[in-house]
Structure 1
Amino acid sequence: MRIVITGSSGLLGRHVAAAAVAAGHDVLGIDTVPPTEGGWRHVTADLTDLGVALQLVRNADAVFHIAAIPRPTGRAEAEVFQTNMALAYNVIEAAALSGVGRFVYASSFSIFGYPFFTNWPKQLYLPIDDNHPAGPQDAYGLSKWLGEEMVQAAVARGAFSAVSLRMPWVQTPEGFAGQIGPRRASGDAGRDLWSYIDARDAADAFLLALEAPVEGHARVMISAADSYMDAPTAELAANAFPQARQGALPGFASTFDLDNARKTLGYEPRHSWRDYPKA
């Protein structure tokens, strides 16, 4: 299958592109910078230009849209919002006009308000499932939520079927200690619900989303099966969210309910930081 992958030089994008190539797909990666390595065709391009997006997407069977400014820090929030919105609109519109069959969108758990909030989100219950109300507060989370809505609008007019993958912090064995260690020590771990996903599991989810028997638009939370903490999740949740209704959070379980991902995609996380090589 011919797959266009936007943001293919980034942390998530390059793992997704490599997995798609390994699965036998013909991959065209698009990014503003070339990949440092990879076995796929690459075009360096700015997809905030609709004409460029139309030219590059026109022969695709499927599109994985990953390209975005990944956080509202270190950049002006207006730039984050404008860039992410332009990217999403242009790639969605190009896919719709090109007759793409399946669109997979890299969404985020930030649609629920984490981790870049100003005021703590009103958490109704834990674990979070895909029916929990959205509540973004920052430019990045808002751009991801509106991106899902743009996908929905395209699906509603019959453009393609789609899957939006809602992901927490993407991690790799190489980068985990350097990123998660400081977060644990800062006392701010609750801001991201102690959650993460291994990049390889995220890549698996994209390939599952490509083939899943989805009609319309499925919005699906994916994550690791566990938290990145050594303390029991139920204890962490009770302390951080005493007002939230607490369901089953056994052991070090993720704060996300993965039942919808299992049912819709056949997704099952295979990797945990607990198995990463010790530094």
Structure 2
Amino acid sequence: MRILLTGSSGWLGRHLAPMLRGAGHVVTGLDVAPGAETQVIGSVADRTIIYRTFADRGIEAVIHAAALHKPDIARYDAQAFIDVNVTGTLNLLEAARMAGHERFVFTSTTSLMISQAVRDEAGAEAVWLDEAFGPIAPRNIYGVTKLAAEQLCRLFRSEYGLASIVLRTARFFPEEDDTHRDLSGENMKANEFLHRRLTVEDAAAAHLAALDRAPDIGFGTYIVSAPTPFDRRDARALRQNAAAVIARRFPQAAALYAARGWKLPERIGRVYDARAIEQALGFRCRTDFAAILGALADDAPIPFAHDADYQSPKELRR
């Protein structure tokens, strides 16, 4: 298929484009910043560019990964988030509808599920986050606009029959966390594979699975995260003494962490459950916490990216 990939210069796009080509697709990358995987420079908020690209490139399906993200709140105003995340998604959906498409994959975020109450983690149990979780009350403009874009995808399925898959991806960014600095970046990322992280390679692979299954499913919203080793029965213990729960699942973890100077989490306040995408799309992330421990045990490279100096290509051009 001839696929339009938005956000092609970004962290996900630069990994996703080669996978798509490897699967036999012809990829047109669109981004505001130049990059090796980008053929069209422009914003999804520009309807003229979108329509011209569809016509010139014979686009047959869309993977929409372009967005302003949570760290961008410090750099852009609310209107920019509306323009890019909402209007940009509408532009692409309209173009796909008029072209008679049957496949639209939207990169969303688990962040929109995190209300201020969830973020505060004040409860006696870890919050269990799956597709049935609600009510959804995003705590910032990023989450609000991504939720609105999800609803546009749902609407275009119900009104026009455009098959759309929404992927609420957990964390896969390579840079440091912009709010928590208690642990080293690698240590924090490793811990998050227990409950709220995946590799960028797995995030890209999930998009290929969604592209393949979209016509069969019609519409679906799925959390994409490394499979958690926990279940709901662990929720209270995770909130009170996560290290003990981890020790029962992974007896070798404490020693492997100590040898590297890392710390296991004392408490875990939320868990993303990605079972639904495995059941519906047959997709499961390849890299999980056991793989992290395996790398530590073998003194092998850590199987996830960490780059404290990473900057978004769109910011490098500013």
Deviations 1:172-194 (A, max 9, x none): xxx3xx5269836169x7xx995
Inter-partner Cα distance in structure 2 for 1:45 and 1:182:
30
Inter-partner Cα distance in structure 1 for 2:53 and 2:162:
18
Residues 1:77 and 1:26: Cα distance change in structure 2 (over 3 Å): same
Letter of the 1:163 counterpart: I
Partner of 1:90: 91
Inter-partner Cα distance in structure 2 for 1:57 and 1:121:
45
Instruction: State the 1:73 CA deviation.
Output: 2.9
Residue 276 of structure 2 corresponds to residue 277 of structure 1: no
Residue 282 of structure 2 corresponds to residue 255 of structure 1: no
Is the contact made by 2:226 and 2:274 (CA closer than 8 Å) also made in structure 1?
no
Is the contact made by 1:103 and 1:162 (CA closer than 8 Å) also made in structure 2?
yes
Query: 1:14-29 alignment to 2 at 5 Å?
Result: 14-29=14-29
Letter of the 2:143 counterpart: G
Inter-partner Cα distance in structure 2 for 1:182 and 1:226:
23
Q: CA RMSD in A?
A: 3.6
Instruction: State the 1:53 CA deviation.
Output: 1.1
Instruction: State the 1:149 CA deviation.
Output: 0.2
Q: Percent identity?
A: 26
Residue 180 of structure 2 corresponds to residue 183 of structure 1: yes
Deviations 1:13-54 (A, max 9, x none): 11111210111110000001121x34xx61112221112211
Inter-partner Cα distance in structure 2 for 1:107 and 1:50:
21
Inter-partner Cα distance in structure 2 for 1:121 and 1:60:
44
Secondary structure of the 2:106 match is strand
Instruction: State the 1:87 CA deviation.
Output: 1.2
Instruction: State the 1:158 CA deviation.
Output: 2.2
Partner of 1:138: 140
For structure 2, the residue ranges without an aligned partner over 5 or more in a row are 242-247, 254-267, 307-318
Inter-partner Cα distance in structure 1 for 2:237 and 2:111:
19
Partner of 2:244: none
Secondary structure of the 2:129 match is coil
Partner of 1:52: 49
Query: 1:51-200 alignment to 2 at 5 Å?
Result: 51-58=48-55, 59-71=58-70, 72-78=72-78, 79-113=80-114, 120=120, 126-133=127-134, 134-171=136-173, 175=174, 179=176, 183=180, 185=182, 195-200=196-201
Is the contact made by 1:118 and 1:137 (CA closer than 8 Å) also made in structure 2?
no
Which protein is richer in helix relative to its size? 2
Q: Which protein has the larger Cα radius of gyration, Structure 1 or Structure 2? A: 2
For structure 1, the residue ranges without an aligned partner over 5 or more in a row are 228-232, 241-248
Instruction: State the 1:216 CA deviation.
Output: 2.4
Inter-partner Cα distance in structure 2 for 1:77 and 1:250:
44
Partner of 1:266: 282
Inter-partner Cα distance in structure 2 for 1:138 and 1:270:
31
Instruction: State the 1:74 CA deviation.
Output: 2.1
Is the contact made by 2:45 and 2:83 (CA closer than 8 Å) also made in structure 1?
no
Secondary structure of the 1:170 match is coil
Inter-partner Cα distance in structure 1 for 2:165 and 2:119:
30
Residues 256-265 or 103-112, more deviating: 256-265
Instruction: State the 1:101 CA deviation.
Output: 1.4
Inter-partner Cα distance in structure 1 for 2:171 and 2:65:
14
Inter-partner Cα distance in structure 1 for 2:284 and 2:118:
33
Inter-partner Cα distance in structure 1 for 2:3 and 2:73:
31
Letter of the 1:277 counterpart: P
Inter-partner Cα distance in structure 1 for 2:11 and 2:281:
22
TM-score normalized by the length of structure 1 = 0.79
Deviations 1:109-153 (A, max 9, x none): 012126x88973798974311011122121000111101000011
TM-score normalized by the length of structure 2 = 0.70
Partner of 1:11: 11
Inter-partner Cα distance in structure 2 for 1:106 and 1:264:
17
Letter of the 1:22 counterpart: G
Inter-partner Cα distance in structure 2 for 1:122 and 1:47:
39
Residues 1:87 and 1:117: Cα distance change in structure 2 (over 3 Å): farther
- The total of aligned residue pairs comes to 257
Partner of 1:224: 226
